Each structure stands twice: as structure tokens, then as C-alpha cells.
Amino acid sequence: MLVPVKWLKEFVDFPYSPAELAERLTMTGLEVEGIEEPFSYLKKVVVGQIETVKPHPNADRLKICVVSLGEDKLEIVCGAPNVREGMRVPLALPGCKLPSGLEVKKTKIRGIKSPGMLCSQKELGLGEDHSGIWTLPKDLKIGLTLAEALGLDDAVLEVSITPNRGDCLSILGVAREIAALTKQKVRYPEVNIEETGAPADEEFKVTVVHPDHCYRYVGRLIRDIKLGPSPWWMQARLLLAGIRPINNIVDITNYVMLECGQPLHAFDAERIAKKHIIVRLAKEGERITTLDGKEHALTSLDLLICDLKGPIALAGIMGGHNSEITPETRHVFLESAYFNPVTIRKTAKRLGISTEASYRFEREVDPEDTFFAAQRASYLMQLLAAGKVAPRAIDVYPKPYRPKRVFLRIPRVKQILGMEIKKEQVVDILKALQIEVKEGDNTLELIPPSYRHDLEREIDFIEEVARLYGYENIPSSFPVIPLKAKPISFAQKIREQIKDIMAGLGWSEVITYAFIDPKIFDKLRLPQNHPLRKVPKLLNPLTSERAVMRSTLIPGLLEACDYNRRQQISHLRLFELSKVFFQHKENNLPEERYKLGGILSGYHYDFSWHFNPPQEADFYDLKGNIEALLKAIGIEGVKFVFQEDIPYLHPARSAYVIKEDKTIGYLGEIHPEVQEAWDLKYTAFVFELDIDALLGCMPDQKRFKPLPKFPFTSRDAAFIVPLDFVAQEIEDFVFDLKVSYLEKISIIDVYQGKGIPEGTKSLTYRLVYRAPDRTLTDEEVEKIHKTIVNKILKQFQITVR
């Protein structure tokens, strides 16, 4: 909310500069986000009077005006048609920066010096009129700056009001806070109505059909108003508070709303059919056209102000087009009401309208203040629009305000705040907030003022005490905490460890958005019924590109890869460890699983003089990293088997990662179509491992195996096998033989080409032998090795190279 400081001073005295005031308010909970002087440029605009108007010697359409600024006189060149002798005008002096960005300078126009510029209202940012130079009212003193003359030379505080403090959405509300701080009283604005004519309640009738939605409705009739612009002091204050002046009647309703926090609405009294106001809920499908010309379809939850013909206002939100004030308006029916905040909020949210009025009603206005606000506005209409206020306000108050009574236990204050504040001081603070206090021994009986809807429970009052006592005056201390604390969980520990290992292996961690574009599933070639498509969908996504939660980390990784490609980085290894989501059953919370995913693309190694020319990365770069990771977290005996059912992977260059018949993840080259869809420069290789599955395979505790005491002996064996023969088969076969003293078998060479028949390849294995209790002799090793090789040859029907 924008709070002009001088306006504030009308209601309460304070010894602070705007900056000090901002600091004090901030420290009591009304955060001041900024201090502005929105019209400071008007300090370089002065009120002048045109003494003579002479023709410009070199231009027909230009004139030279001699402008008196009191003691000084300036000759200003001007092209506007309306300049006249005796006219009071705004003169912008050199150095003045107008809202359009134009800076006024000393210039020469067609050979004549012009040390300033006469301005239109629009050029000064004070209205829409651009038909000519603004004719200022005669009561503005010549020589004063326009800022001063119009009352726009004020600092404005931008105060952020928390949702619980609807009572501070007014100048008086902020003044009350200052008064509580400085232990002063606020001055309420003047009301001095002279009622004339027939009483309002004889002419108009108000019926509240649904009192649960409208607790109070006050109406006043003001006859014979003279519509016109409001006086400048009022326009200035509205402008400072960020509201555009319109005409005196509308301005008065806005002015009183800013002053008291009570939104008001002025109807054209002659446009209320049968002079009967009915406050009721809308009928399903009923329609209203609001002042802004928009038509709304309503539901039975929306509250309306109607006359006997139908809706004339959307209660608490916006007036109807059919009852608004027009230049023909003669009589005004003024509404000041208390509407149920939830009712207003529901309608405002559903229709997507937020107005100054709805904002205040949603945060609750003071039901006891509706009458005063109506009085104040009526008085201003009498004063500023020559209105005649009809006797007797209409005041329908079906649900009268009942003061709340709350007990505050003094020891509870200490329990919550951790320090003792003396009872007298507590009483003092509460009284300064206009809370009625009845003192008991150790308890206070409290009645908050009607505008403080947030004060309902003991704790609410404790907060008030803390707030005004000053948080800065409450000491800091440490709680006594028993040493016993659970260590972080195994899962949390391993997740962090995995990230460290990945970083150690040269992978950079990314964090991508958890929501993705559902179209990505098509790009990933997933069939319509694929389980990865069963994801939570957002009802109100920001864009269609972030409309569903992800079921896999691959899209985010591809996106990151693509983003980097556009930054000329195509050689990379990125990983992410995060959640994915599966919506198994509608209306239930989805399943959330942690996954580790990664993407690798570019070369085997970083480009350098050692590896020049660089060689493009392949499947084995990825597999080697996965093997290293698994080994590092203690998972051994993992198998890699061909996969054929992951649609976004190359069917001949990808695998499932299996541990004891359980799939814990997959890895492989991205499918060429997917590659194309993302337009990646190099072939991308991706993987995903399920963290829960990994945790399930991890040993609870690593166990020590004694180190060998005797040396090993190794023998190599090379076999000629068909091209599609899988190396792992021989290893598995040998492993299953469970030969004593065979410690390890590993492949050391794969060869294809000269020296072996076409359509075959040669696989060379190294077999390592060791006995735990002695050094094996050559003869022994030779015997075992021969047996194994023969068994292999027989099993696979292959030959030795």
C-alpha cells in the first residue's frame, strides 16, 4: 500500500523523518519496501502567469509568452493554441525530467531563446488532457513549485501489509500503528453533515436476503450533487496513493476508502429500479456487466447487489455498468457495507478480478466502521460536490459485531518469549493498541478493537506484546538439547556418496525442472500405454512445456545436453540424482522414486595433444563409469544383458543392469530417432539407475577378506569365436565350473582381422591361479588350465587360436 507521509501526519504526530518512520514501521511488522517521491520532478516546474503573448518573428504557429514567476520574468516559446494573457500555467524549467523521459533544456526555437517549457496536464503526468497548456486554478500561488502548490511534494512509503493485517490497509490504520508506537492518540477526520430534504429511508429500501454473506449494509442518499473534478488537494493525495482521479464523487469514495479502509460504492440513485436495494446470492447462470464493460457469468456462490430489475453490482468487487455515475447523475446512493471475506474472495478468485475493494473485503473491514465511512463520504460530497445529504442513513445490520473476550496469562508470555516482561508493561503495550484491559492477578481479560480481526486467541496477544516490545529487545540464547541424535539415514548418506563418486569420475551434477513437456514422451518414442507416460499432470502449468511431472530423468538431461550444445559445449558428462513420479492411481499421491541418471557425449577423453585426433565416445565409456560407480559403492557381480524394450535406446547398443535377477537400471546409446529429435551433435549415451534398487543390493556392512600370502600365476587362452559371440558367456561358464585355485578370469584382448578367418573374432582371456596355502607349481597350473580350456572348447564348439 502507498502511504503519503503528509496525509499520515493529519491523523497522528510523530517526530520521525520518512526514513526513520520506515525503519520503525518495519521493525513493528509493517514492512516498508521503499520510500519514493513520485512527483519530485514537479519541483522543477513552477507556477507562472502569462503576462503577454507575442507572435514569434520566424514562425506563424509559435508564440512567445512572457511568463511571470513573481519576481522573475521569462520569455518562453510555445506552440499551443490556448495560451492567453493572464493565464496561470505550469512552466518546466531546464533540468526537469518529465515522465515521458524528456528532459527540459534551455533551447533556441527558430532563433528565439526559450529557457523552459509550458506543459499540458498529460506532459506532467497528472491527467489525460493534452489539448493545450494546462490552465492552472487561480488559487495556485505564482512562483511556487508545482509540487508544492499542488501538495505533491510528499514522500510516499510503500508498505507491505501481511494478510492478517487488513486493518492497516488505510492511512488511519497505519496511523493507529504509529500511535501505538509513540503512545499517542489518532485524530479522526471531520464529519459535519447538514441533512436536508426527505429522509432516505422513506425513499429507499435495503433488503439483505443472505445475511451470512453481508453482515451490514449502510446506505446514504445524497441529492443534487454537482459532478466535476475534485479539488486539487484531493486529487494530489489520490495520485500520491497511486489512484487515478476521475470525478469528485468517485474520487470521494476512493479517498474515504484510503482514509478509513472501508470500500464504498456510489450508485446513480435514479438508476436503482424501484429504489430498492436487494443483497442476495446470484442465481446459477445469472449475468452482470461490470463498470469495466466486461460481462461475467455467475454461480450461486457470488454475492450481488440488485435492484428490482436485477444485478447492479458485484458485491464488494466492482459496480455494475447499469448503475454507475455518469455526467447526468443527479443523486447518489452511497453504499458502505461489510461483506463476508470468504464470499468475496471466492468470487474474485474465480473471476480473476482483484480490485482495491475486493482486496480489502477479503482481508476483512471493520464492521463497526461502515457507518462512519458512509458519514465521512457523505460529508465530503456535501462539501465538495454541493450534495444535499438526506436525513437518516439506512443501516441494515443483521449480524452485529460481538466483541471478543480473551484471557492472557502473564506466565504464558514468558513461556513463549523466553523472557519476563512485567505485567505493567504488558498492560501498557496492549492499551496502546486500543485493547481494553481488565487486570486480574496473573491474568488479563482483553477485548480487542473491532478492526483487529487477527486478535482472537491468547497467542495473538502475546505476539502483539513481543512486536511492540521489540524483537530486537528480546535476548538470544541456546536451548539445552540432549546429545542423543539419530545419524542421517543410510539412504541419505548413500545418495550423497553417489554424487561424490560421480563428480570424482568427472561427471557434473545438474538440477533440472521436475516438470516436463508431455510431448517429450513422443520424442522418446514411447507407445501410448507405456508406464513412463503415467505421470501426475498439472492442472495449471505455467507453459505446456512444463505440464507434467517427469517419470524419468532422461528428458531433463537431454534438454541440458541440448542447452550446452547451443553454448558450443558438446563434450560433456552430466548427471542428476533426483525424484521421478508415477501416477499409478488417480486421486492418490503418486509414487516418488529417486533415480540417478546421466548423459555422456563427445569424446573418450578431453581433447588434448595426448589424444589427438580425438575419438568419439562409445558405449564402453559409459559402461566403464557405471562399473566404477557400482564397485565404489560395494555392489559386485552385476550383469549387463541386452535390452530390447526401452524405446529411446539403440536396440543393439544398450543393456539392462541386473543384479541377482533384479533390474537396477539400464544404459546405452540413445536411439537414432531420439538423437535426431534433439539435434545433438555427437551420439549421446544415457543411463538411469534406481536408487532404491541400488540400496537393496548394497552390503549392509563391508567385510574384510584376508590378503593373499602366496604369489599368483597366470595363463592366457585365445579362442576363435563367431562374430556375434558374447564374451561374458565364457567367463560365466568358467565361473560356474568352480575350479579350485582359479582366482579370476578376465578378457584381455578382442581381435578381428588378418590372421583369423572371416566372420570370426578372437577373444583372449587371462586366467589367474593362486592357492591360499602354498605357491602353485608350474605343472599344477598347466594341468588345471588345460582342463579348463578343453571344457571351454567342448562347451562352445570353438577352436583355440
Give the footprint of another protein on residues 32-61 (CB under 8 A).
33-34
Contacting residue, 84, 183, 438, 457, with another protein by CB under 8 A:
457
CB of 162 to another protein, least distance (A): 3
Stretch near another protein under the rule CB under 8 A, chosen from 479-487, 684-692, 714-722, 736-744? 479-487
**Which of 383, 505, 633, 720 is close enough to bind another protein by CB under 8 A?**
505
Query: Does 486 interact with another protein (rule: CB under 8 A)?
Result: yes
Phi, psi of 6 (to 5 degrees): -70, -35
Least Å distance, CB 38 to another protein, is 16
User: Minimal distance in Å, beta carbon 575 to another protein?
Assistant: 8
- Contacting another protein (CB under 8 A), which of 223, 345, 376, 785? 345
Q: Does 608 bind another protein (CB under 8 A)?
A: yes
The Cα–Cα gap between 156 and 6 comes to 9
- Residue 195 or 509: the one with the smaller Cβ distance to another protein is 509
Beta strands at 591-601 and 572-582: parallel, antiparallel or unpaired: antiparallel
Alpha helices in 671-773 (DSSP H): 672-678, 691-697, 727-737
Cβ 520 to another protein, closest distance in Å? 16
- Which three three-digit cell numbers place residue 120? 499540458
∠ at Cα 531 (530, 533), nearest 5°?
75
Please state the closest distance from residue 659 (CB atom) to another protein, in A.
Answer: 25
Q: How far is the CB of 541 from another protein (least distance, A)?
A: 7
Q: Would you count residue 612 as binding another protein (CB under 8 A)?
A: no
CA-closest candidate to residue 12, choices 185, 201, 197: 185
* 290 or 347: CB nearest another protein: 347
What is the Cα–Cα distance from 64 to 547, expressed in whole angstroms? Answer: 64
What string of DSSP letters covers 326-345?
-TT---EEEEEEEE-HHHHH
Candidate residues 61, 285, 328, 539; the one interacting with another protein per rule CB under 8 A: 539
Q: Which of 586, 661, 679, 773 binds another protein (CB under 8 A)?
A: 586
Report the length, in residues, of the chain.
Answer: 801
Binding characters for another protein, 405-444, by CB under 8 A (x = yes):
---------xxxxxx-------------------------
Task: Report the residue from 503, 747, 750, 800 that binds another protein according to the rule CB under 8 A.
Answer: 503
- For another protein (CB under 8 A), the number of binding residues is 99
CA–CA dist 640, 620 (Å, integer): 12
Per CB under 8 A, 473 contacts another protein: no
CA 751 to each of CA 171, 733, 798: distance values in angstroms, whole numbers, following the listed order: 88, 21, 15
* 357-386 binders of another protein (CB under 8 A): 362-363
29 binds another protein (CB under 8 A): yes
Rounded to the nearest 10°, the torsion over CA 403, 404, 410, 415 is: -150
Cell representation of residue 370: 461502515
Out of 308, 511, 748, 750, which residue is the one contacting another protein (CB under 8 A)?
A: 511
Binding status of residue 404 toward another protein by CB under 8 A: no
Tell which one of 51, 439, 496, 716 touches another protein (CB under 8 A). Answer: 496
Query: Counting contacts by CB under 8 A, is residue 687 touching another protein?
Result: no
Instruction: Indicate whether 488 belongs to the interface with another protein (CB under 8 A).
Output: yes
Say whether residue 510 binds another protein (CB under 8 A): yes
Q: Nearest distance from residue 477's CB to another protein, in Å?
A: 4
Compare residues 542 and 707 and give the one whose CB is closer to another protein.
542
- The Cα-based distances of 640 to 651, 664, 721, 730 in angstroms read 14, 10, 20, 14
Provide the mask over 286-325, with x wherever binding to another protein is found by CB under 8 A and - wherever it is not. -------------x-x------------------------
The per-residue DSSP string of 560-592 comes to HHHHHHHTT--SEEEEEEEEEEE--STTSPPEE
Our finding on whether 592 is near another protein (CB under 8 A) is: yes
| Distances, alpha carbon 795 to alpha carbons 271, 334, 631, 761, 799, in Å | 102, 101, 31, 18, 11
With 0-12 / 13-18 / 19 or more C-beta atoms within 10 angstroms meaning exposed / middle / buried, residue 21 is: buried
Among 95, 137, 504, 722, the residue binding another protein under the rule CB under 8 A is: 504
Binding to another protein by residue 346, rule CB under 8 A?
yes
Answer yes or no whether residue 694 interacts with another protein by CB under 8 A: no
Q: Nearest 10 degrees: CA dihedral of 777, 779, 782, 787?
A: -110
**CA dist 737 to 661, 740, 767, 780, 799, Å?**
20, 9, 13, 17, 19
Q: Which of residues 701-720 bind another protein (CB under 8 A)?
A: none
How far apart, in whole angstroms, are the C-alpha atoms of residue 645 and residue 527? 11
Q: Please report whether residue 28 would count as binding another protein according to CB under 8 A.
A: yes
